[in-house]
Structure 1
Amino acid sequence: MNLAVIPARGGSKRIPGKNSKMFCGKPLIAYSIEAAKNSGLFDKIIVSTDSDQIAQIAKDYGAEIPFLRPVDLSDDFTGTTPVVQHAIKEMQARGTNPRYTCCIYATAPFIQISALQEGLQRLTSDSLKHFAFSVTSFPFPIQRALKMQNGGVFPFFPQDIPKRSQDLAEAYHDAGQFYWGTSEAFLKGIPTFSETSIPIVLPRHLVQDIDTLEDWVRAELMYKAFIQFNKGE
């Protein structure tokens, strides 16, 4: 069976109430829940939260809240893996033993069902892989990154500045949307960034971190443009 785990603590500092804040007409977390539901990939969709408010919103949109996340997993320093491990163990204790688990971030309004489907298909078709997760490319060669130092501007990689952009290796980063994995790999704490992971490459127009208020405004503008484009307006 397949389990979706959506981590959504209530203590966001930079954007207060981020996971439940209204984003283009719906609570932000609603987009992740609806994508998981509409994908038809999951036997269980749960939200791991320490917040009664988020729990109620999650229930309203069709997710399950079989437990509330403990305090020691709800601070600013707890990573995603311990939260997913806790969720899998809690579900196992309740008689649910998922073979595959997908961690879906609550801050992923651009998440596409097709990408979730591709992630599961590619993971299940390769027995040597443990994870499949979303990535996207940087819009500018990272080899030409600059730093401000001693009142001036200097390249991080001086040797690459004269090179043509087409001669520089394309670089990618975690898109922060979803992480498919075998439940066993999550529980063992196998590293996500390794040769046993499959990158699911997303176009840049479907990726936006939402960590600051500036990110939020940019994400809403991108989302509205994306919806209008799909409607042919």
Structure 2
Amino acid sequence: MRVCVIPARGGSKRIPRKNVKLFLGRPMIAWSIDVAIKSDCFDRIVVSTDDDEIAQVAIGCGAEVPFIRPASLSDDYAGTVEVLAHAAEALLLRPEDVVCCLYATAPFVREEDLQAGHKKLLQSDLDYVVSVVEYNYPIQRALRFVGGRLSMFDSEMYGVRSQDLEGAWHDAGQFYWGNAEAWMQRKPVLNALSGGVILPSYRVQDIDTPDDWVRAELMFRMLRSDVLSDGVC
């Protein structure tokens, strides 16, 4: 069984109702549901939510809402691993099933990204495959303020050429493929058995604040004018 789980709680604070707020004419969550459907990676596409409106929008866009997420997993402190473990257990998944956590606010994900993650998980002994993006500046040259003055975290890196520094990546915050067993055992997503799918930086944007939202819409207009429409889903 291949299952996509889209976590989408109703209580977002910095952008109220962001999971169903219209993003270029469609509820934000509709973009994630649509790419999950088009990827042909999943037997089921499930939205984990505590919110009736989100549930109705998700069903209208082609996803399932077979359970309502409990309030204990719907506050500001609810972790992704716990939410996915709950979903895997509620769906009575087997350890050998695979589950992809696809965030509801990930409009830049493409079908080929999900397909690459699925393939990598199946062809390895990994617990998880995470979407990652490279830092756009060498982390070895990071600065901090000490007593009001700038200081390097590692002054030995000052004279090293950029091309000689090791690259560094961070979680792109779009999707995590994982074995159902790893989710149900509550293993951290980033562990010794985690792999990555590298995404280009021009397709990665956190959407946590109103400014992020505006920037994301501008980026999306430039990148995906081919899929923009006036339809709800």
The TM-score bracket by the shorter chain reads: over 0.9
Task: Find the partner of 2:116 among 96, 115, 118.
Answer: 118
> Cα distance, 1:195 vs. partner?
2.7
TM-score, length-scaled by structure 2:
0.93
1:55 maps to what in 2? 55
Alpha-carbon distance change, 194 to 111 in structure 1, aligned in 2, over 3 angstroms: same
Aligned partners of 2:132 and 2:45: how far apart in 1? Answer: 23
Select between 153-162 and 16-25 the one with higher mean Cα deviation: 153-162
The answer to whether 1:165 aligns with 2:171 is no
1:146 maps to what in 2? 143
1:79-98 to structure 2, matched below 5 A, reads: 79-92=79-92, 97=94
| SS in structure 2 of the partner of residue 214 of structure 1 | helix
Aligned partners of 2:79 and 2:188: how far apart in 1? Answer: 13
1:74 maps to what in 2? 74
Aligned partners of 1:87 and 1:20: how far apart in 2? Answer: 21
Task: Find the partner of 2:130 among 113, 128, 133.
Answer: 133
Aligned partners of 2:209 and 2:183: how far apart in 1? Answer: 29
- The one-letter amino acid paired with 2:2 is N
Larger relative contact order (CA 8 Å, sep ≥ 6): 2
Q: How far does the alpha carbon of each residue in 1:112-141 deviate from its partner, in whole angstroms, 9 at most, with x for none?
A: 110111111111111x21111100101111
> Cα distance, 1:229 vs. partner?
8.7
Aligned partners of 2:165 and 2:82: how far apart in 1? Answer: 36
Aligned partners of 1:53 and 1:207: how far apart in 2? Answer: 27
Aligned partners of 2:227 and 2:199: how far apart in 1? Answer: 17
- The one-letter amino acid paired with 1:58 is A
1:1-233 to structure 2, matched below 5 A, reads: 1-92=1-92, 97=94, 99-126=97-124, 128-228=125-225
| SS in structure 2 of the partner of residue 122 of structure 1 | helix
> Moved runs in structure 1, 4+ residues, more than 4 A?
228-231
Q: How far does the alpha carbon of each residue in 1:140-169 deviate from its partner, in whole angstroms, 9 at most, with x for none?
A: 111112223422222222221221111111
- The one-letter amino acid paired with 1:124 is L
Aligned partners of 2:50 and 2:225: how far apart in 1? Answer: 35
C-alpha contact (below 8 Å) 2:20/2:27 kept by paired residues: yes
TM-score, length-scaled by structure 1:
0.93
- The one-letter amino acid paired with 2:191 is S
C-alpha contact (below 8 Å) 2:10/2:54 kept by paired residues: yes
Q: Percent identity?
A: 48
Aligned partners of 2:169 and 2:226: how far apart in 1? Answer: 25
Structure 1's unaligned 5+ residue stretches are none
